[in-house]
Structure 1
Amino acid sequence: MRRRVIVIVTAVHAPSARFLADAYKSLAAQELPDGWDWRWLIQEDGRTDQVAPYVPDDERVSFRQGRPGGPGVARTLALARADGEYVKILDADDQLPAGALARDIAALEADPDLGWATSRALDLLPDGSTVGFPGDPEHGPVERQAVLDHWASHDYLAQVHPATLCVRRELLLALGGWMALPASEDTGLLLALNSVARGWFSSEVGLLYRKWEGQVTGQADHVDSAEREARMAVVEARARALGSFQWRYRAAGSD
């Protein structure tokens, strides 16, 4: 019987390559439901000789390179070799707690009209401690436009973390992958998904989000006010436009 696959997509650049070992350790420890396997697609954002030495030697792991364009471009390029039912995001410097993949699979398998799943995230600090966030939504389904409306009314902060996304591959492809932005490309995808499909939020921790001095979201360019306003404007405009078309994701064969 054909085994089913959840694909993990990771964009990496040279400064974050050293964290791939921790990401792999967390992935290798995942216990999947019977009949399921994972595949890890690592895509370098660039063509250097500084990432490949950190790529794990595992037949379930594939590595490719491409001209630099940011993490959204790297992830979207990786979709060319994604052949599983679901696509899970895992940034190179983050880690998956035990059970994260199994919970994503269980949520999406239980309701074929759900397009995506997210989970609670904890910041992983340099000393190894973790810190949570207030304001998580209720455990369970997330209705269309709920994340978008919260984000728009809370200074562009979503109540679910885009780095925890697990999404149906065909829906991800239909939306064109990640947005062509220098940052917030994952938020753009999350809000687009929320405009066309119901999702799921798990209150169990599904991601350890590493905080470190070199991460892209900690750089000055990321918080430049003019660029941030432009990014947020196009992210919201895309999501609202999708909502206005009244197109909704429904599983094949559903009414």
Structure 2
Amino acid sequence: MRTISVITAVHEGGHHFIRDTYESLREQKLPDDWQWEWCVQEDGTSGIPASSLPSDPRITFGTGLQARIAVTRNHALARATGDLIRTLDADDVLLPGALERDIETLERVSWCVSACVDLHEDGTTAPGPYDPPGGPLEPTRFYHEVQEHRLSVQATTFAAHRRLVLALGGWQALSGAETIALLLAAEAVTAGEFIAEPSVLYRKHPNQTTASNHYWEPTEAATRIDALMQRASALRESGWKWQ
């Protein structure tokens, strides 16, 4: 059996939807020779988010010093055994066929992102308004979009070959935008694809990290983007390509 490792970071107080996340993962239908594992890592040492997880041998749970989501995801990545990696936030819901489409796409390319549907507190949904067309992506598309202060995808849908993620150093150790950082790093060294069929319900709620005004403090936010753009630029200038 081949494995796709689903990577989820969670913190105490941010775990209230994680059972829904698990149920959506449990209902995924994979090709006959594939299985999933769920590497859940707490940003902290309370152990409380683990109480919301079922007893399932496909789940591993770890704790660690509080260091924000990028470091937390990297700790989960260290436990991953799969050929492929898929990012999944602790408050999001996978849609049917999401992992199967990732697996099929990653037979052709080294990374992919997919469409998502916003899930609002009142239960209504709305598709992403700026999705690119499905299929192969231009090699600088997302780099230029971030330069122009826009991004047409949710980078939290990122999936890739595990060895590529390891070679890139995992999620860049930033206070946010770490999924964008990994997306741009992967784009800099190898081709990817966009899956037009939505893969997640992206839950909108007041307690999500990006809903905080503090998260968007101008100097902090600008520094994050500057750091991830510098890394992507350095990779491009190096000429190194992932085979």
Question: Would you call these one fold, judging by a TM-score over 0.5?
Answer: yes
In structure 2, runs of 5+ residues without a counterpart are none
Secondary structure at 1:16 match in 2:
coil
Secondary structure at 2:67 match in 1:
coil
Aligned to 2:78: 80
Does residue 10 of structure 2 align to residue 12 of structure 1? yes
Tell me, yes or no, if the aligned pair for 2:18 and 2:91 is still in contact at 8 Å: yes
Does residue 214 of structure 2 align to residue 216 of structure 1? no
Does residue 124 of structure 2 align to residue 124 of structure 1? no
Aligned to 2:51: 53
Tell me, yes or no, if the aligned pair for 1:10 and 1:43 is still in contact at 8 Å: yes
When normalised by structure 2's length, the TM-score is: 0.97
Aligned to 1:25: 23
Secondary structure at 1:121 match in 2:
strand
In structure 1, runs of 5+ residues without a counterpart are 251-255
Deviation at 1:133, TM superposition (A): 2.2
User: Percent identity among equivalent residues?
Assistant: 40
Distance 1:178 1:167 in 2: 12
Deviation at 1:212, TM superposition (A): 0.9
* Residue type of the alignment partner of 2:69: P
Secondary structure at 1:227 match in 2:
helix
Deviation at 1:146, TM superposition (A): 1.6
Which residue of the other structure, out of 144, 154, 172, is the alignment partner of 1:161?
Answer: 154
* Residue type of the alignment partner of 1:165: F
Aligned to 1:249: 242
Secondary structure at 2:193 match in 1:
strand
Distance 1:115 1:212 in 2: 32
Does residue 188 of structure 2 align to residue 190 of structure 1? no
Tell me, yes or no, if the aligned pair for 2:130 and 2:153 is still in contact at 8 Å: no
Tell me, yes or no, if the aligned pair for 2:118 and 2:201 is still in contact at 8 Å: yes
Tell me, yes or no, if the aligned pair for 1:124 and 1:208 is still in contact at 8 Å: yes
| Cα RMSD after superposing both structures | 1.0
Q: How does 1:109-148 map to 2 (within 5 A)?
A: 109=107, 111=108, 114-148=109-143
Distance 1:188 1:73 in 2: 13
Distance 2:69 2:221 in 1: 17
Secondary structure at 1:40 match in 2:
strand
Distance 1:49 1:89 in 2: 21
Secondary structure at 2:63 match in 1:
strand
Tell me, yes or no, if the aligned pair for 1:143 and 1:194 is still in contact at 8 Å: no
* Residue type of the alignment partner of 1:67: L
Count the aligned residue pairs.
Answer: 243
Aligned to 1:253: none
Does residue 62 of structure 2 align to residue 99 of structure 1? no
Distance 1:150 1:226 in 2: 20
